Structures are given as structure tokens and as C-alpha cells.
Chain A
Amino acid sequence: MSTQVHATLSEDAVEQISEDLGEPEWLLETRREALAALDGLEMPDVIQTPGRKWTNLDALDYESLVDPLEYAQDKDRIDAEGVDVLSWSDALDEHGDLIEDHFGSVVDPQRDYLTALSTALFSAGTVVYVPEGVDAEDVKIRTTMNSRSLFNYTLVIAEDSASVTILERQTTGTDVDGDQYYSGVVEAVAGENAYVQYGTLQNLSDESYNYQVKRGHADTYGTVDWIEGNMGSRLTKSSVETRLLGDSSESKIVGAFFGHDDQHVDIAARVWHEAEHTVADLVTRGVLDDEARSVYEGVQDVGREAWDTSSYQRENTLMLSDDSEADASPKLIINNHDTEASHSATVGQVDAEEMFYMTSRGVDPEKAKNMLVEGFFVPVMEEVAVDELREDLDQLIYERLRE
């Protein structure tokens, strides 16, 4: 891809990217505005109690890390019948108006500093367009990052009564000296009665910093489901969100993470119930080993007009090491009393009784522990409809346990 020696974070760089992608003027303007807004924007929200931020996003000097024109990636897109899975250049050529309608409609381009940075600089990414009534299964996007920084932007448009399942894999390829930064924005629009399932398996290198925001809008009877698998990176800050805007819309957010060494995983799962008869289910399971740390925030926000809401959340963390740390804050914000809502969170270690049961039947303790950890993820795995994602995640957990 394109290379320039002295690329800096400037309007020139933004214009260069835009030209490379063959963009229309409106998109370049959106980028320029995002770039100009950077100075006044804050870092993304993290859980904060007075005196402490649970995730320190300020530790990294993003601007020095960012090399907007120095982007290299391998991209592999597998489409399915009836669906367009396109690079940005192709997508802009073929569906320019459609993209103009939806771009930035779900994720505010100036939501925070890192999102604006991503909007201004994205050069990689995919547009998935599923026309009305089309059922598309197993769309796959594989992204391998081969540069210091990579800005990925994915737009999913599922028209009325369309359905699609997408699996995105994020890995790092060739070694790059020093820190790396991966930034991913995903916008998903589900029309009436449409179904979008978007699964991500993040397995970036341990030297990379990872920022992701994924957000979906679900129209009447629409569904947006997210699967959020996090294995890699040194620091991940990921927000996975759905606004249930249409009556009887639904969302499920399923998360799994396994932190080791000094990995820091900050996951926020948020759902806004903004219409009647909406249903949400948030399920996350995580394992922490060594000095890894997890921060989890789950928000179920039931709006004033969200009559007959059902909203559930469960978060469980398993700690394998005394040096690991887990922070959890599952929040309920309820403005309509016609609601059935519950949330729960647990933190603990491998159950001693279960260990005893296994070892007394001749399984050696290390193997017993591994089996129990794998078993711990099962309730989450069962929610993953994409076979390949489930198998890959399973494999990564298997490997991590035997490292």
C-alpha cells in the first residue's frame, strides 16, 4: 500500500488518504472536521471513581505512534451470495449515496479523541451491504496489521428483513519495532426485521494497544448481536453498544476474554432500551492469569418510553493468579417501571470442590484446572452462532492454557 517517509498527523495526510480511497468531498470534510476537533476532545470514558481512573488511556502518546500514511495490512474478505463485502474504494464507487446516508449515523465521528482520530485517519476497512430480504451467512473479514498503526472502519448496512453473520479477525503480522496501535470502529444498521450478528476475534500482538468502538442501531423487530472475543494486545479498550430504537428489537452482547502477563482488558457493554417490548441479554466471561487486569462495565439503560422491557446481564470473572486484578461495575439505569431487569457479577477462582472431584478421579491438577477453565467459557461459547469463531476462540484458549 502507500508509503511516505515523513507522514505526520496533518490535514495533508488526511487529504492523501482520502485521495487514495477515491473519496467524495463529504467524507473528506467529515475527516477534516474530526481532525480539527481533536484538540478539544477528551479520551473515551472509562470507569472513574474520584481519585482513580480504572484504565489509563493517557499513558500512550497516540500522535507520535500514529503514522497515518504508513499503513500496511493484509485483508481477506469472504463474501456470501447476494451480499456486497467491499473495500472502501469499491464501496464508495458502488454505493456512495448509501454510505453517505449511514456513515457516522450510529457512531458519532467526534464521540471522543480516539474515535475522531480513527475517523480522520482510517484507511483500512470494509463495507458490508445486505440488500432487503437477503440472507447472508458467514461473511468473513480477516485483518492482519503489518504497520505501527492501523485505522480500520467497518460499516454494516442490513436493509429490512435482511440477515447477515460476520466474523472479523484481527491479528498482527510482521514484527514492527516498538508499540503498535490498532483502532477499529464498527457501525451496524439493522433495518426492520433485519438481523446482524457481528463477531470479533481480537488476537493482536502483546505489544499493541487496541481501541475499538462497535455500535448498532436496531429498528422494529430488528436484532443486533455482538460477540466480543479478546485474547491479544497489551491494552484493550473496547465498547460494544446497541441502541434498541424500534419496538420489539433485541440485542445480545456476548463477551469472552483471557488475559495473561500484564495485559489490561477494559470492556464496556451497553444497551439502551428506547422502544417498547425490547429485549437485551449481556453475557461476559473472562479469565485472568499472571498480572493481567480486567475492567468491565455493563450498562442497561431503560428509557422513559421503553415499556415492557426485559434486560439481563451476567458477568463472571475467574482469577487464576493472586497478582491479577478484576474490576467490575454492572450498572442498571431504569426510567420505566414496566421492566424486568436483572444483572449479576461474580469473581472467584477455580472451584476447590470441582478440583477435588477431578483430581480424586485421577486427573492431574494442572490438567484439571485447564479443563475447568475451558468449561468456564462454555456458557459463552454456546451463544456464539458462528462455528468458525467458536472453534478459533476455543483453540486460542486451549493454547493459552498450555503456554
Chain B
Amino acid sequence: MSSDQDHLQETDTEARFEFKKEENSAFETEKGLTEETVRVISEDKDEPEWMLQRRLRALEQFQEMPMPTGWPAAPDLSEVDIADIVPYIRPDIETRGGAENWEDLPDEIQDTFDKLGIPEAEKNALSGVGAQYESEIVYQNMQEQWEEKGVIFCDMDKAVQEHEELVKEHFMTKCVPPSDNKFAALHGAVWSGGSFVYIPEDTTVNMPVQAYFRMNSEGMGQFEHTLIIAEDNSEVHYIEGCSAPKYSAFNLHSGGVEVFVGENAHVQYSTVQNWSKNTYNLNTKRAICEAEGTMEWVSGSMGSKATMLYPSTVLKGPGATDNHITIAMAGEGQDIDTGAKVYHNAPDTKSTIESKSISKDGGRTNYRGLVHIADGAEDSSTAVECDALMFDNESTSDTMPYMEIQESKVDVAHEATVGKIGDEDVFYLQSRGLDDDDAKQMIVAGFIEPITEELPIEYAVELNRLIELEMEGSLG
């Protein structure tokens, strides 16, 4: 039996919430993305034969699958033309980097960095200019500390070379197979860069593992792969910082994140993404959680033109726990369609989902979530809470939760509220001397507090600052 089938059996997805798998002749032609492109990427990276074969198989699957359709009120992906996107891959691989100079970056991004108060050197790093150097230093310092414990933290390309067996076993086999959806297949074919984290048994990494600079260093973060393996009784907090608006030649980001949470292990994955506003952000993130393990997802979605992202957790072992905290903010022209999926496949499993969204200036946010409680997952419980805040009448906020309950001894609750920013609250703050903008910013800061308090201070500050920037001058 293939590993994909294993995965399907394990997760009992029945592709319910995944993209449809049907033949579609439109993608059978080798338009844009060709086998040649994939071979070039693999050769460039001096990959072993098995990885090339996996890429080619993923490419085949990508070409067979149609664009996802049929979801109620799904973001418009009609502009996502693979033929247009894929040719950008090669030049990017060859040049290995984003913009050459700070001055080459779009004004909008330069402006944002300035407002964030980021020093010149860091600006260069964040924007992908000369980040390679910066990031090497960052990693080196951390590695010394961890190597003694057997912890591995490196980029994925390096992991394929140096930790081949671990990668071969876990990479897009059990957790996110390319057959999962069209963009997972695309990712499987052209993935590049990303992080590899391995925490041995009984090991606690008590400071957050951060991949902040590195993603930009390769300049190809748009198809980055993150693979986290936390063995039994281990603990790690991984943070992926895309919190700076990324300058991107691509208009498609299709990353993949796979997390293996061993028995009684604890993994927290935090990310704040702020892709440029012309980016389609179509990610697949999934964790498999063994008995008594805990998975925590903390994510902030700020940027992109359209985002479709539903981090999911398969609670495979008894007593496993999953927590999601998500925040989405959509401004003008943005459609942030995000949520969470949890599969309770074992008894005594628990999950919580806390979702906050803010929409303004005609932006749309949607919480689209799935909670599945399988037959036999008795004594499981889940609580979903969605709160939406709307600034104006041009914006849209939707909530589309799905719950599939096949077991009676469970406790399932979903709650959602939507409201405008409270006039009384604004009045209260104004009457105490704050101007309108400040008052609203303060209310928003309070609204998103559940997420900021989960993040290390520098990320929390940055997230708040980003939201302030998004709101600046746009309030009525």
C-alpha cells in the first residue's frame, strides 16, 4: 500500500475537506511547469534520486488535479494561472535571491519597514537582500547550544543531504502527501528551502526555534517546506517569521508544513504572515499527534490577495490535544479564507479553536473550519470560538464551520459572534482624551490579545505594529 493510502486511512479524511481529485485535461499539457523544470531544480540542489522521483510523481499528480472548485464562497482563484506563475521559478533559482538592492524594493515595502522602525541592516535581511550572511550567523549561534542535545535545525535542502533517512521517511509521505490537494502536489514538485527541525526523545528546547531570516535568504520562500519531528517526550516552539511584508516576484505562495508530534511531546508552531498584496497564499499545514501529545498552532494572517489556509491536526493517539489560535485581518481587495481542521481519531482527545478576524475597507475574512470526531473517539471534546470585528459596510465577514460527529460520548461546542467596533467603547476612550484612530487601535489590540500573548514579545510587538499600520488613516 502506498504511503498516501496509509495517510488517508490514518486520517480518515475521505478527502472531505481536501481538494477534489478529478481528471482535468486543461492541466495535462505541459504548459508552464514541465518535467524539465522539476529536473533542473533537483539537479541544482544535487538531490538524491528518490527525491527527484517524488518530485516527478507530485508533478504528475498536480497535472491531473483540477483547480479546486465547489466550495461555498471560496476565494476567486481564476487569476492563478500556473502557466504564468511557473516560469518565474527558473530565474529565481538561478539568481538565488530577491531584489539586489534595497532601492529595488517597492516603495510600499520600504515605507513599511521604515514605519516599523527596523534598522538598515535588518531591513536588508528582511527584504531578502544579503540575508544569507545574516542568517548564517543566527543559525550558527543557536546550533552550538542544541547540537549537544542531538537537536537538528537546518534548512530543508541541507537536511535532504545530511539527514537523508529522516527526511526520506517523513517528507510528504504520512502527513501531507502530494495527493492531498492540487497545491500540495505543486509544492511537492517544486518545493525549495524551508526548515528542518528534529528534537530527540526526552529533549526540551526551551527557547523558541525561529526561522525568520533564513526563508528570505534563499529568496524562494514561496515554496518552502517545513518538517518538524518531535520525538516522544520532547518539546519545542517553532516560529516562522514572515512578519515582514515580502517582496516577491511570484504571485503564488504554496508552502507545506508537516509536524510529527510524538507521544507526550509538545509542539507549538507560530507564524505571522504578511505576504505582499498580490500574492495568492495557498498553503497546506498538517500535524499528526500521537498519544498524550500536544499540538498548538498560532497564526496571524495579514497579507496576501487571497489566502486559503486551514492548518489541520490529526489527533491519532488517545489523550492527544490540539489548540488553534488564529487571527486574520483583511483590508482592501483582500480575501482571507482561513480556519482550522481537527480530526479526533482516538478517545480522550481534546481540541480548542479560537479564531479572531478583522475586516475593513472592503476586505473579506472567512472562518472555514472542520471538526471531525470519528466513531470510537469517545470522551473527546472540542470548543470552537470565532469572533469577527468589522469596521465598515464595504467589508464582509463570514463564518462557515463544519462539524461531523460520529461518536455520542463527546462534547462539541461552536460559538461565533460578529459585531461592529463598539461606538460606546470608542466614545469611552475618546472621552478620556484618545483620538478616534488611537481609540480604535486600542480596541483592536484588546481584541487580538489572545494571540499576542502567545507570541514572544518581539513578535507580539511587531504584530501589533503591523495592525496599526494596516489601520492607519483608513478609519472613518
In A107-151, the 8 Å CB interface with B consists of none
* Cα-based distance from A52 to B258 in the complex (angstroms): 25
Task: Tell me if A343 counts as interface (CB < 8 A to partner B).
Answer: yes
Task: Tell me if A336 counts as interface (CB < 8 A to partner B).
Answer: yes
Q: Which residues of A contact B20 (CB under 8 A)?
A: 50-51
Contact A327 B404 (CB under 8 A): yes
Q: Which residues of B contact A105 (CB under 8 A)?
A: none
Contact A50 B404 (CB under 8 A): no
List the A residue with the shortest CB-CB distance to B406.
A325
Task: Tell me if A331 counts as interface (CB < 8 A to partner B).
Answer: yes
Pick from B220-228, B262-270, B279-287, B394-402 the stretch touching chain A. B394-402
* Cα-based distance from A341 to B73 in the complex (angstroms): 19
List the A residue with the shortest CB-CB distance to B390.
A337
Contact B393 A338 (CB under 8 A): yes
Kindly name the residue among A51, A339, A347 whose own CB sees the greatest number of chain B CB atoms within 10 A.
A347
Contact B15 A330 (CB under 8 A): no
B335 shortest CB reach to chain A, Å: 14
Task: Tell me if B391 counts as interface (CB < 8 A to partner A).
Answer: yes
In B361-418, the 8 Å CB interface with A consists of 370, 375, 378, 388, 390-393, 395-418
Contact B405 A325 (CB under 8 A): yes
* Cα-based distance from A50 to B402 in the complex (angstroms): 12
* Cα-based distance from A50 to B16 in the complex (angstroms): 5
Task: Tell me if B18 counts as interface (CB < 8 A to partner A).
Answer: yes
Task: Tell me if A4 counts as interface (CB < 8 A to partner B).
Answer: no
In B406-450, the 8 Å CB interface with A consists of 406-421
Contacts A50-B17, A320-B408, A332-B398: A346 and B414 contacting too (C-beta < 8 A)?
Answer: yes
* Cα-based distance from A319 to B378 in the complex (angstroms): 12
**Other-chain contact of A345, B388, B403, B406, B420 (Cβ < 8 Å):** B403
* Cα-based distance from A325 to B407 in the complex (angstroms): 7
* Cα-based distance from A214 to B438 in the complex (angstroms): 48
Contact A326 B403 (CB under 8 A): yes
Task: Tell me if A395 counts as interface (CB < 8 A to partner B).
Answer: no
Q: Which residues of A contact B72 (CB under 8 A)?
A: 48, 331
Q: Which residues of A contact B21 (CB under 8 A)?
A: 51
Contacts A332-B399, A337-B391: A342 and B415 contacting too (C-beta < 8 A)?
Answer: yes
In A299-351, the 8 Å CB interface with B consists of 304, 307, 317, 319-349
Q: Which residues of A contact B412 (CB under 8 A)?
A: 345-348
Task: Tell me if A174 counts as interface (CB < 8 A to partner B).
Answer: no
Contact A327 B416 (CB under 8 A): no
* Cα-based distance from A338 to B405 in the complex (angstroms): 34
Interface residues of B (CB under 8 A from A): 14-21, 68, 70-73, 370, 375, 378, 388, 390-393, 395-421
Q: List the 9 closest pairs (A to B, CB-CB), nearest first.
A: A337-B390, A319-B408, A51-B15, A347-B412, A332-B399, A337-B420, A344-B415, A341-B418, A342-B417
6 CB < 8 A contacts A-B: A50-B18, A319-B408, A331-B72, A339-B419, A340-B418, A346-B412
